[in-house]
């Protein structure tokens, strides 16, 4: 195991509040959450983007970098004005231009030291401690810019999950980078119509299911599937019903199979397991919502194994395909108005029961693939690596693109007991590399 995470020193040298460059007009001061926003926990969606210093010169440019980030963040908050406000109640945001928290830090090592064998515990060092303690800072956006001795940078971006899913997070980062480059007008502005389609309900104040996820005694590992291995995996996962599985379907099916096998080994026999797959529903709704629709436009479908014969790779890939097609067939037209509330409230009760009883083993998957995080150029090049900022919830798996866009990085969080078996699974290691160097 890499010990760099325990040795590096990250020192906060400055904390500021960045307010929108233009005040929010009075008629926009109250922003309604959408119905799905109400289900989200009061935690942060976080990413860390790592940038190399191509000039490899030690840091006379720190102040210039900081000024560019802060000025462009202020402009970006003007366009994404709800993110500069504060949570008023469980149905709305007070858009009072409270601003974002901005931290600057120095890292007493080189970026290459981090990228050699990156671990989740190390990545979390580039997020403010307040985020990790779940206290938050009171702000809906929190940023930490950490400068390495070599001139490289880690940019940690944290956005309240009450307002942002992966798509909204990607849109915000892309808009911020375009503004920093001076091409802000080219960025697609956010569309704020989610609440009109999915109006919030004051009488609906659920405890978000994610708060039930166990975070104690978990272990997180990074697995990388390169393009050639994914091609072989897709061929193995193919069947008459799913002749061309996607790379996400193939990778998800393999991880699901291996995690189910590991879980069954503790009991002496395989038990049924359930996969909960989070999906971006913007394009899947009828009529579709705009791709730039702001907020949490995500939902989930479930796929379940039965007896031992059901955990063959092609069977699991088939279950995933049936799940996504089932959403389109059964729910695509229902996410609007009163019918949406009926669907959401019923599903919430079922999911809440699953999380709280754990009668059946379940795994929650989320794919962040195809979001253009690696295109986020603030003026010093595109990221060398983009990572999940914080993953501690047991049985959660997040998939992200590799830098070349053809491979997949899987962040897998299991109980320590399950991970000890999972990380030695021979079928998994046939297709995936355990935490290889980013620099390769």
Res 54: pLDDT = 63
- Those residues with Cβ within 8 angstroms of residue 380's Cβ, 6 or more apart along the chain or in another chain: 51, 53, 54, 65, 153
User: Is 202 domain-assigned?
Assistant: no
- Residue 268, beta-bridge partner list: none
User: Is 29 domain-assigned?
Assistant: yes
Indicate the pairing of strand 100-107 with strand 10-18: antiparallel
Q: In the chain, how many H helices and how many E strands?
A: 13, 16
The reply to whether 151 and 299 lie within a common domain is no
Catalytic residue among 97, 226, 377, 425: 377
Separation between Cα atoms, residue 305 and residue 284, nearest integer Å: 25
The CATH number of residue 224's host domain is 3.30.559.10
pLDDT category at 58 given cuts 50, 70, 90 is very low
N- to C-terminal Cα separation, the chain:
18
User: Is 204 domain-assigned?
Assistant: no
Residue 94 CB burial class (10 angstroms; 0-12, 13-18, ≥19):
middle
Res 126: pLDDT = 96
DSSP codes, 87-105 = EEETTEEE-----EEEEEE
CB 140 within 8 A of CB 84: yes
Q: Mean pLDDT across the stretch 419-435?
A: 96
User: Tokens representing 212?
Assistant: 């039930």
Report which DSSP code applies to 43.
Answer: S
User: Is 377 domain-assigned?
Assistant: yes
Per-chain mean pLDDT for the chain: 89
Strands (E), 194-286: 218-225, 273-280
The reply to whether 277 and 328 lie within a common domain is yes
The reply to whether 138 and 259 lie within a common domain is no
Separation between Cα atoms, residue 52 and residue 75, nearest integer Å: 25
- Those residues with Cβ within 8 angstroms of residue 35's Cβ, 6 or more apart along the chain or in another chain: 198, 199, 200, 201, 204, 340, 341, 344
pLDDT category at 16 given cuts 50, 70, 90 is very high
- Indicate if the alpha-carbon torsion angle 26, 30, 34, 37 is positive or negative: positive
User: Tokens representing 153?
Assistant: 């940078």
Separation between Cα atoms, residue 223 and residue 120, nearest integer Å: 12
Res 204: pLDDT = 84
Separation between Cα atoms, residue 427 and residue 253, nearest integer Å: 12
Domain span at residue 294 reads: 209-434
- Residue 299, beta-bridge partner list: 279
Structure confidence by residue, pLDDT tens digits, 251-299: 999 999 999 998 777 666 677 888 999 999 999 999 999 999 999 999 9
The reply to whether 234 and 113 lie within a common domain is no
- Those residues with Cβ within 8 angstroms of residue 325's Cβ, 6 or more apart along the chain or in another chain: none
Res 361: pLDDT = 81
Strands (E), 206-351: 218-225, 273-280, 298-304
User: Tokens representing 246?
Assistant: 């996607």
pLDDT category at 59 given cuts 50, 70, 90 is very low
Structure confidence by residue, pLDDT tens digits, 329-380: 999 999 988 899 999 888 887 777 766 655 578 899 999 999 999 999 999 8
401 is catalytic: no
The reply to whether 118 and 191 lie within a common domain is yes
Residue whose tokens read 């253009």 = 372
Residue whose tokens read 């978000």 = 208
State how many domains the chain has: 2
User: Is 439 domain-assigned?
Assistant: no
Radius of gyration of the chain (CA): 22
* CA-to-CA separations, 148 to 61, 65, 186, in angstroms, rounded: 12, 13, 31
The reply to whether 356 and 414 lie within a common domain is yes
Separation between Cα atoms, residue 235 and residue 227, nearest integer Å: 13
User: Is 390 domain-assigned?
Assistant: yes
Separation between Cα atoms, residue 298 and residue 280, nearest integer Å: 5
CB 12 within 8 A of CB 104: yes
The reply to whether 267 and 403 lie within a common domain is yes
**Of the listed ranges 12-26, 123-137, 202-216, 222-236, the one predicted with least confidence:** 202-216
The reply to whether 297 and 184 lie within a common domain is no
CB 376 within 8 A of CB 49: yes
CB 45 within 8 A of CB 164: yes
27 is catalytic: no
Indicate the pairing of strand 153-160 with strand 218-225: unpaired
Catalytic residue among 161, 174, 401, 418: 161
Q: Using the 3D structure, point to which of 165, 197, 229 is the last residue of a domain.
A: 197
- Those residues with Cβ within 8 angstroms of residue 235's Cβ, 6 or more apart along the chain or in another chain: none
Separation between Cα atoms, residue 100 and residue 81, nearest integer Å: 11
The reply to whether 131 and 176 lie within a common domain is yes
Q: Using the 3D structure, point to which of 197, 229, 261 is the last residue of a domain.
A: 197
The reply to whether 221 and 263 lie within a common domain is yes
**Of the listed ranges 89-93, 390-394, 411-415, the one predicted with least confidence:** 390-394
In Å, the largest CA–CA distance within the chain is 63
């Amino acid at each position: 195991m890499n010990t760099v995470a325990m040795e590096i020193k990250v020192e906060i040298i400055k904390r500021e509040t960045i307010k929108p460059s233009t005040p929010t007009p009075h008629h926009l001061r109250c922003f309604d959450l959408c119905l799905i926003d109400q289900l989200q926990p009061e935690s942060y969606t976080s990413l860390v983007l790592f940038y190399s210093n191509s000039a490899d010169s030690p840091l006379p440019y720190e102040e210039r970098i900081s000024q560019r980030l802060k000025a462009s963040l202020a402009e970006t908050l003007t366009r994404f004005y709800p993110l500069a406000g504060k949570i008023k109640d469980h149905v709305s945001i007070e858009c009072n231009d409270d601003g974002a928290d901005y931290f600057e830090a120095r890292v007493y090592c080189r970026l290459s030291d981090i990228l050699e064998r990156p671990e989740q515990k190390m990545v979390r060092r580039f997020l403010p401690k307040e985020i990790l303690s779940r206290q938050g800072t009171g702000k809906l956006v929190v940023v930490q810019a950490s400068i390495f001795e070599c001139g490289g940078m880690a940019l940690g971006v944290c956005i309240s999950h009450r307002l942002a899913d992966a798509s909204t997070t990607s849109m915000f980062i892309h808009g911020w980078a375009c503004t920093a480059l001076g091409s802000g007008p080219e960025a697609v502005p956010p569309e704020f119509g989610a609440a009109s389609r999915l109006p919030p309900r004051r009488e609906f104040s659920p405890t978000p299911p994610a708060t039930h996820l166990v975070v104690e005694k978990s272990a997180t590992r990074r697995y990388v599937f390169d393009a050639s291995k994914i091609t072989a995996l897709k061929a193995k996962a193919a069947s008459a019903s799913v002749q061309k599985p996607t790379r996400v379907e193939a990778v998800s099916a393999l991880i699901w199979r291996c995690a189910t096998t590991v879980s069954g080994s503790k009991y002496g026999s395989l038990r049924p397991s359930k996969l909960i797959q989070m999906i971006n529903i913007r394009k899947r709704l009828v009529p579709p919502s705009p791709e730039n629709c702001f907020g949490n436009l995500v939902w989930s479908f479930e796929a379940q194994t039965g007896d031992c014969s059901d955990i063959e790779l092609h069977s699991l890939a088939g279950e995933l395909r049936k799940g996504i097609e089932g959403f389109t067939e059964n729910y695509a037209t229902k996410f609007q108005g009163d019918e949406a509330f009926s669907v959401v409230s019923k599903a919430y009760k079922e999911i809440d029961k699953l999380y709280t009883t754990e009668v059946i083993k379940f795994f929650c998957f989320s794919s962040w693939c195809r979001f253009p995080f690696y295109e986020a150029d603030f003026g010093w090049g595109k990221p060398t690596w983009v990572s999940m900022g914080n993953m501690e919830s047991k049985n959660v798996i997040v998939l992200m693109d590799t830098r070349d866009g053809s491979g997949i990085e899987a962040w897998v969080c299991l109980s320590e007991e399950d991970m000890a078996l999972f990380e030695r699974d021979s079928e998994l290691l046939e297709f995936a590399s355990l935490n290889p160097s980013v620099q390769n």
